[in-house]
Amino acid sequence: MDIKQLQYFIAVSEHMNFSKAAERLHISQPSLSNAIKKLEHEIGTPLLDRNTRNLQLTEAGEVLFERAKVIVKNMEVLKIEMDEVVVHGTSEITIGVMESIKHWLPKVIANYKKDYPQMMIHLVDILGSKRVKKSLKSYKTHLIITNQLMDDPELEVKTLYEERLVAVLPLHHPLAKKETLSISDISAEPFIISTEGFQTRRDILNTFEQAGKSIDIQFEIERFETAVSLVRENLGITILPENYLQGPTAKTIVKKEIEGANLCRNVYLVYLKNRHLPFAIRQLLKDVLQFFETKPM
């Protein structure tokens, strides 16, 4: 019994059709049938009931199917980890990021690159809790910086800092003259908000609900950049992390504190607990954590 046989058996079990499984595996149907028969011969018992109109797994087949999926997945993970065990300082790292970290992550990376100049760093947008979990568990990313609160025993979650959420208005909006705003002030304004699945959206909606105010949602977005563009065109107002509004962006809009509303969010560093991370990647993880130990937000 080898990995290829298990992969063939998994494909047949998932499709319950030899021709479809063969097409997925890019082999001929007779070759696949012979491979499954050989596997059954080695095990000493039928794995598929071929006497019915449709293929069905036997009891032995059901057991092998569940175990085989775990074995094949572990082998795929092992290959990835072995590929990553490379010479010190020469490797690649993929980091899932969100928009509001643009003011500090480049500083960490610039310092890190002094010791690891050959490290190729991939920065990819990973938004929403489902995407965070899927990306880490499928080994697409090594670590993710997110505001999504992860409750998953397979994930290690480190709190980096807390950031305030503020109202964002067009430069010449009538409310821009007020020093601070209330939920009542903005409840009748056309509102720009993140789509379903984002923690910031849930936090904002909860704040309006607790204040007993409705919210007039006119736009749903995934990126803060889009929200700011809409605000600049006087199409509505929004609530965004204050850290995102640093730099040139701050000159194109008005930001206001929302009084009486505990609008803030935590930012987390998340990675897979049982994944082997090469030394160079573990060092970057350590650098991120140390950055906030010495420079609290």
User: Is 40 among the domain residues?
Assistant: yes
Domain boundary among 83, 109, 136: 83
- Domain total in the chain: 3
Q: Which of 83, 118, 146 is the last residue of a domain?
A: 83
Asked whether residue 129 falls in the same domain as residue 198, the answer is no
Range of the domain at 170: 163-263
Residue 164 CB contacts under 8 Å (≥ 6 apart), including other chains: 241, 242, 257, 263, 264
- Euclidean distance between the first and the last CA atom of the chain, given in angstroms as a whole number: 55
Residue 129 binned pLDDT confidence (cut-offs 50, 70, 90): confident
Beta strands in 30-172 (DSSP E): 48-49, 56-57, 92-97, 120-125, 143-146, 155-169
For the segment 4-51, what is each residue's pLDDT rounded down to a tens digit? 889 999 999 999 988 899 999 999 988 999 999 999 999 999 999 887
> Do residues 231 and 206 both lie within one domain?
yes
Q: 177 and 148 share a domain?
A: no
**CATH number for 126:** 3.40.190.10
6 DSSP β-pair partners = none
Mean pLDDT of 231-260: 90
Q: What is the pLDDT of residues 87-111, one digit of tens each?
A: 444 578 999 999 889 889 999 999 9
Query: Residue 200 and residue 123: Cα distance in Å, rounded?
Result: 21
Query: Considering the domain boundaries, does residue 49 fall inside one?
Result: yes
Instruction: Look at strands 237-241 and 190-194 and give their pairing.
Output: parallel
pLDDT of residue 88: 46
- Shared domain check, 55 and 176: no
> Scanning the structure block, which residue is given the tokens 């019994």?
1
Cβ neighbour number for residue 170 with a 10 Å cutoff: 19
Q: Which residue has the higher pLDDT, 211 or 149?
A: 211
Residues 255 and 273 in one domain: no
Residue 239's DSSP bridge partners are 167
Residue 5 shares a structural domain with residue 139: no
Let me know whether 30 and 66 are in one domain: yes
What is the number of other CB atoms lying within 10 angstroms of the CB of residue 281?
22
Residue 132 pLDDT > 70: yes
Residue 297 lies in a domain: no
Q: Which of 18, 49, 83 is the last residue of a domain?
A: 83
250 and 183 within one domain = yes
Q: Quick one: 60 and 76 in the same domain?
A: yes
Name the nearest CA neighbour of 190 among 166, 223, 216: 216
The string over 209-245, giving b where at least 16 C-beta atoms fall within 10 Å of a residue's C-beta and e elsewhere, is eebeeebeeebebeebeebbebbeeeebbbbbbbbbb
